[in-house]
Amino acid sequence: MKLFVDPPLPGKTNMEIDLELVEKAAETGSAYVRLYSWSRPTISLGYFQKPEKVLDFSALEKHGIDWVRRPTGGRAVFHFKEITYSVSLPEDYPGLPSSVTEAYRFISEPIYRAFLQIGLPVKWARQEENVSEACFLAPARHEIILQGKKVVGSAQRRKARSVLQHGSILLGAQPEVFADCLLGVDKEVFLEQLRTRTMVIPVREEELRKSLIYQFRRFFS
């Protein structure tokens, strides 16, 4: 397993590196883990979302927000203050389940353990329906929740010989800005849903990063 801790980078660069690593996992048969952040606030869209139907481009310009398309599915995520992770594995990695939902849990296990290590009593979520354009508004099965609220938003893509999963661990939020940049949402309802269904992790960034590095190395080595 190789682990990278990158400095803040533009959204396009972040997505390009994740794609490079999942291709490398297929070529080498090795696991690649990456922790990173974003040089500017950025909204990432799922691979199948249409930006002209999701994003208010004038609001993006007003707030100085970038946008990028992820190579994975899912819905919109606002990357502001967070630790982002990505895991790239060959399809025959030992223990990796063939089921998408079970693979979510397998890949997320080091994050779950990192939260427990620093004293956060997290649990695994059950499936909830999400009809919003925002990824964080409903936890999928085997995603991580704290006090009933989603704290990690993840997406996965399976290629011919490898699997990429990446996601966001929230350390800060600008929900009003996020709501303003999305089309077709009732902003008051959207903000209330964000407040009641998601939360920012109440820990120091460096403490969480150290715990994640330790658990990822332990789990994938």
Known catalytic residues?
Answer: 135
Amino acid identity at 137: L
Closest by alpha carbon to 147, among 109, 214, 198? 198
Q: How many CB atoms lie within 10 A of CB 204?
A: 11
Indicate the angle between helix axes 100-117 and 205-220, nearest 10 degrees. 130
Q: What does the alpha-carbon distance between residue 148 and residue 145 come to, in Å, rounded to a whole number?
A: 6
Alpha-carbon gap, residue 161 to 153, rounded angstroms: 24
